[in-house]
């Protein structure tokens, strides 16, 4: 199956950046560019919680543009002060949520098991998880990245039945490339994306593996996006820093496979 059959996605991760007004302005500038998306292309903005409703209304008339939360809690509801549930996200019409970003794994001690619960609660609420995986530099230096990423997928996703796995977006984000300006080479990205697809195929069959979008994340910029996205198994990117600059993110959207 040709990779263009899969959704090609440019996902912006604003993290804990921008004021409300700056966020609104950034979205306005991006929409001002009037980039029309092909049916297989999609743009997702993962914005801070307080901006979700504003961002939802900004994308309302824009075909192919969507909003994501950057995280949600793994529990249904209850006494978890400061947390946001998947049901709350659903109740304001949010359809995507980043799950297991490496910053949350590192600073908030999110484990593969906890992330399996987050994936489940998202899917129960019709929210597509954008599931992040990826190895630290020390693991890459020992050439153990394949086993490491495989374990992340097995422990957080492989309990899912096929119909649910099909709904997941995977983002491969080598930690050594996030926010460092150091990007994986196209060969490193393609090798890992192909490997991820092969383990998906081993568990769920080739037809399912060929449908799951696998994004690359790690210092994607306006200048390198087209080259990275051209890899056959790379279906777009999850973008941090460069998604905060309208002209850069516009170029990244335009770099999606046609």
Q: How far is the CB of 244 from ligand PEP (least distance, A)?
A: 9
Question: Which residue in the shown chain puts its C-beta closest to ligand PEP?
Answer: 240
Name the 3-class secondary structure at 103.
helix
> x/- string (CB under 6 A) for ligand PEP, residues 16-55?
----------------------------------------
Contact 9, 43 (CB under 8 A): yes
Tally Cβ neighbours within 10 Å of residue 57. 12
Return the residue of 25, 60, 141, 179 that touches ligand PEP, per CB under 6 A. Answer: 179
Q: Is 173 a catalytic residue?
A: yes
Q: Would you tell me how many other CB atoms lie within 10 Å of the CB of residue 181?
A: 9
Candidates 1-9, 78-86, 123-131, 235-243 — which segment interacts with ligand PEP by CB under 6 A? Answer: 235-243
3-state secondary structure of 133: strand
Active-site residue, selected from the candidate residues 74, 103, 173, 193:
173
- Tell the smallest beta-carbon distance from residue 147 to ligand PEP (Å): 22
Spatial CA neighbour of 235 closest among 208, 209, 212: 212
Selected binder of ligand PEP within 220, 231, 252, 253 (CB under 6 A): 220
Active site residue 193: no
Q: Is 238 in the site for ligand PEP (CB under 6 A)?
A: yes
- Coil/strand/helix, residue 252: helix
Question: Rounded distance, CA 130 to CA 61, Å?
Answer: 23
Q: Is 233 in the site for ligand PEP (CB under 6 A)?
A: no
For position 13 contacting ligand PEP by CB under 6 A, the verdict is: yes
Task: List strand residue ranges (DSSP E) for 136-242, in order.
Answer: 169-172, 214-217, 236-239
Q: Give how far the C-alpha of residue 162 lies from the chain's centroid of Cα atoms, to the nearest Å.
A: 20
Active site residues: 101, 173
Question: Which residues would be at the binding site for ligand PEP (CB under 6 A)?
Answer: 13, 173, 178-179, 217-220, 238-242
């Amino acid at each position: 199956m040709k990779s263009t059959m899969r959704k090609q996605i440019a996902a912006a991760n604003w993290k804990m950046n921008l004021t409300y007004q700056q966020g609104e302005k950034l979205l306005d500038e991006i929409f001002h560019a009037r980039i029309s998306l092909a049916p297989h292309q999609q743009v997702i903005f993962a914005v801070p919680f307080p901006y979700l409703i504003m961002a939802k209304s900004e994308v309302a008339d824009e075909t192919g543009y969507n909003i994501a939360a950057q995280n949600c809690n793994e529990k249904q509801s209850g006494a978890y002060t400061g947390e946001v549930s998947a049901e709350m996200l659903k109740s304001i019409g949010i359809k995507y949520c980043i799950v297991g970003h490496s910053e949350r794994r590192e600073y908030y001690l999110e484990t593969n098991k906890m992330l399996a619960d987050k994936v489940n609660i998202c899917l129960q609420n019709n929210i597509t998880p954008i599931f992040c995986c990826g190895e630290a530099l020390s693991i890459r230096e020992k050439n153990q990245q394949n086993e490491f990423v495989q374990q992340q997928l097995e422990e957080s996703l492989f309990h899912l039945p096929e119909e649910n796995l099909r709904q997941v977006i995977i983002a491969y984000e080598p930690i050594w490339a996030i926010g460092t300006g150091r990007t994986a080479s196209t060969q490193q990205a393609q090798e890992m994306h192909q490997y991820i697809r092969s383990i998906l195929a081993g568990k769920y069959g080739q037809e399912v593996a060929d449908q799951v979008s696998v994004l690359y994340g790690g210092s994607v910029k306006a200048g390198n996006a087209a080259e990275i996205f051209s890899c056959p198994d790379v279906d777009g990117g999850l973008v941090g820093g460069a998604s905060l600059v309208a002209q850069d993110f516009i170029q990244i959207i335009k770099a999606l496979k046609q």
